[in-house]
């Protein structure tokens, strides 16, 4: 079964009930193994605590209970370090969190489902596959 990792922007839209994203994720759930990363959960929790809404924190907790969370490992750290160094050398640096998410996805064989294609396309040369 194909593994799909949901990026932060997708999960934010899902939590907000954005209809097209809700439908797309439901469709993916029927045919794919749906996951996210511990880095993505950090981003979601950060946003929820930053705005100070307990209901948002609770929504992230519930999501974390319902979805497989791919943890960041030493192997991911190595790949992310390589990716970041090469991107920086070529003047194409990315936010480190995006690189961490990409490394986790690559190492778990998961396609990344994101709306942020412009940034993540830079990481395809490292084996990142994007879900259309």
The pLDDT profile of the chain, 132 residues, written as one tens digit per residue, is 999 999 999 999 999 999 999 999 999 999 999 999 999 999 999 999 999 889 999 999 999 999 999 999 999 999 999 999 999 999 988 999 999 999 999 999 999 999 999 889 999 999 999 998
Beta-carbon contacts of residue 63 (< 8 Å; ≥ 6 apart):
11, 14, 15, 44
How many Cα atoms are found within 13 Å in the side-chain-facing hemisphere of 58? 3
User: Whats the size of the chain, residue-wise?
Assistant: 132
Domains present along the chain, CATH in parentheses: 2-126 (3.40.50.1010)
């Amino acid at each position: 079964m194909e593994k799909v990792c949901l990026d932060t922007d997708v999960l934010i839209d899902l939590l907000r009930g954005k209809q097209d994203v809700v439908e797309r994720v439901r469709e993916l759930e029927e045919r794919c193994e749906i996951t996210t990363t511990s880095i993505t959960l950090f981003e979601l929790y950060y946003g929820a605590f930053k705005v100070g809404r307990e209901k948002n924190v609770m929504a992230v907790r519930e999501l974390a209970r319902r979805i497989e969370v791919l943890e960041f490992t030493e192997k991911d750290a190595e790949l992310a370090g390589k990716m970041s160094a090469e991107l920086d050398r070529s003047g194409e640096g990315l936010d480190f969190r995006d690189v961490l998410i990409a490394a986790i996805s690559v190492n778990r064989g998961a396609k990344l489902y994101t709306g942020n294609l412009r940034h993540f396309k830079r990481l395809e040369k490292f084996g990142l596959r994007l879900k259309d």
